[in-house]
Structure 1
Amino acid sequence: MDVLPNSMAVQEAAPLWSDFWLVRLIFNFVGYSSIVLPGYFLIQYFKRRKHLDKGHGICFPLVRVCVFGNEKAESTEDHIEIGRAEMAESSASQQALRLVICIIGLQASYLTWGVLQERVMTRTYGKGDSTVGERFNDSQFLVFMNRVLAFATAGMCCLVTQQPRHGVPMYKYSFCSLSNILSSWCQYEALKFVSFPTQVLAKASKVIPVMLMGKVVSKKTYEHWEYCTAGLISVGVSMFLLSRGDEIKHSSTVTTFSGLIIMASYILFDSFTSNWQDVLFKYKMSSIQMMFGVNLFSCLFTVSSLLEQGALVDSLAFMGRHIDFALHAVLLSICSTFGQLFIFYTINHFGAAIFTLIMTTRQALAILLSCLLYGHHVHLTGVLGIMTVFAALFMRVYARSRIKKKTERSLPPAQKI
């Protein structure tokens, strides 16, 4: 087993890359634009020509599905009522078994994914007696690998389960697909500049940006307690980051600034993704269909960008030189795909509150596992910050469940299930 450098050595090497991550991001945008710009002009052309009313021919069904769909958003209340009825028919023991399976599946998928992600992005491959070792730098290739397997899996599920048609135009998937790609890219890229525990805590602090994005995109309103818990999360993250001041002093200001910019970009893109998916769910669609549509465009975006940059060939060559990297990349894709499936299943059957509770526990375990495996040190102030963050998250889940029960009790008997 090769000797792995500690996190400080990784952060000291990061300035060598700090001049290039922005260039790679610009090249990625150029690659995505080769899909986005022609698609935009085609959509505008078909809408101006009113192709839905006048169109005909072999390509008309494809144009209708991709450009027009059924523009009227449908209410999802019918799907919620059906789901509740199915839950009521199941016994308590069956529901408990399903919940245990969801917990094990989510924890196993994302804990393994987190450990592998840190291994791939912060450690070298091929280091031995006669070789110096190579570091894999192309985050977009890892995103492409994840999305290809998720797309294939969702497609098979749609075929097997014969999902009903929904009304959303296919091009609307591209918005959250592009933001999802960019958030995933930033998540991988950030590990070159910040430690994994710092990244996890920063991800936990995205509650406030998600709320603000929800007000802009989905016109949502929030209670006072939601803003209070979001503020507590920010305080906890600040305590954790300040406790790492000794490490930051040893790294350059360029490295620290680069890491902050990338993590801020991740939070921005990820906040838009979840809120835009909420908008899409107003149409009659299942979670599997959402997974299929988003990953379809993700594959198109990433493969076009990789081919234009010539990075696909280089990444495959790196994979051929280092079999252990190939194994890690495949395992990352498997964990990401199964994680998505468990996410959709858990939310559909148990709701967002239970899912948040499970993922909150996963984040705490991820920090602990990373510290044990890769030697990250957390001071007392950092521990208090971590405890503050997760206490606030548990408070949010508890408050939501109490409000939901209170609302259900206030409903007339005829509306209760």
Structure 2
Amino acid sequence: MLVQKFGGTSLQTLDHVRRAALRIATARRRGAAVAVVVSARGSRTDDLLRLAADVGAAGPSRELDQLLAVGESESAALMALALNGAGVQAVSLTGHQAGIQATERHGDALITAIGAARVRSALDGGKVAVVTGFQGVDPDGDVVTLGRGGSDTTAVALAARLGASVCEIYTDVDGVFSADPRTLPAARRLPWVPPGVMAEMAFAGARVLHTRCIELAAMEGVEVHVRNASTQAPGTTVVDRQDTAPLETRRAVMAVTHDTDVARVLVHCRDVYRDLAPDVFEVLAAQGTVVDLVARSGPHENEFRMGFTIRRSQAEPVRAALHRLTAAFGGGVRFDENVGKVSVVGMGLLSRPEYTARLMSALAGAGIPTSWIATSQMRLSVVVPRERVVDAVETLHREFHLDRPEPADVTSATASGRSATA
């Protein structure tokens, strides 16, 4: 059993579609039962969003989801036609036909279950099942979409439901890198990444995989392979590496990521003793807004202050809702959208306090101003001016020697040295 997912860039032209079909056909002819998940081709989703905006669409809705689902349906039918033309039996299935059930949240729904009866039926009949990513059906029978990057989540969920141990994600890069190779040519391909680190990388701006897909893969025990659809490069495996090497002998920092879809928000209300933090978080939750780098005033101060970062693309609805909240207490909200977030991602970072010091010292030495910072065992994140994001990535990639191969295991090297001496 094999699940393969092809992203929009790997289906951009008909030549891309034919290459993907050839790869699928090869796996099928080797005897694998193959289910395929496809994204909308190229910029199709963006084109549909522009069409919707031109007729006055203002935010997620039932009708917008109906429109956006067209992109994946087109890709699935086209891929099935290409496979049938190549002599491999295939059938295309929408999210509804594949039994993908989801919550009612238009534009950002969560998968609740996958029936997959028609997928299994196709596979049992020797056919390739080509399933639309990014979409499901809510309890009312309406189409809902899973949010940008949701096709990755569809693929992993389908792999888990079908009992596939591996889900192959095909994209336009050779795998997961120590930084975005389109921004930093010196970035190095990582042969493997633990799921927890990959989830942090995805959340902090790495665009190769969707955060929810990695979280689901870790929970369901699905091994994810990230590969280039146009080459035979080995790619990256997202899996917990099972070996005997102690953590201290491995490189702690694995990658530097960046995110420019960031807005810094400061909520403030003077002479207010009430704790407004729960109200602020309720506003953010109601908007489905992801929050990071949170700091706030203490409980005994006569002024409420709270700062955090959100996605810049989600700023407008949040801005209006927070202004309504703070206006009732004579307060206000400030948004700074001229910032970006740069993160060092790895394992055991809090256990190495010198890493935070190195991060701050390297950025200061490069003349890059920093503001808010957040630390955890797997991620150190800092806010920098938006125009200095690339400089910050280059500086930190160099500081943590990520352009070099990972050092050999210290224990093994020491043991080999002792053996040679003996």
User: Smaller-chain TM-score range?
Assistant: under 0.3
Q: TM-score, normalised by structure 2?
A: 0.25
Q: TM-score, normalised by structure 1?
A: 0.25
Q: Which has the higher helix share?
A: 1
* Larger RCO (CA within 8 A; separation ≥ 6): 1
Q: Which has the higher strand share?
A: 2
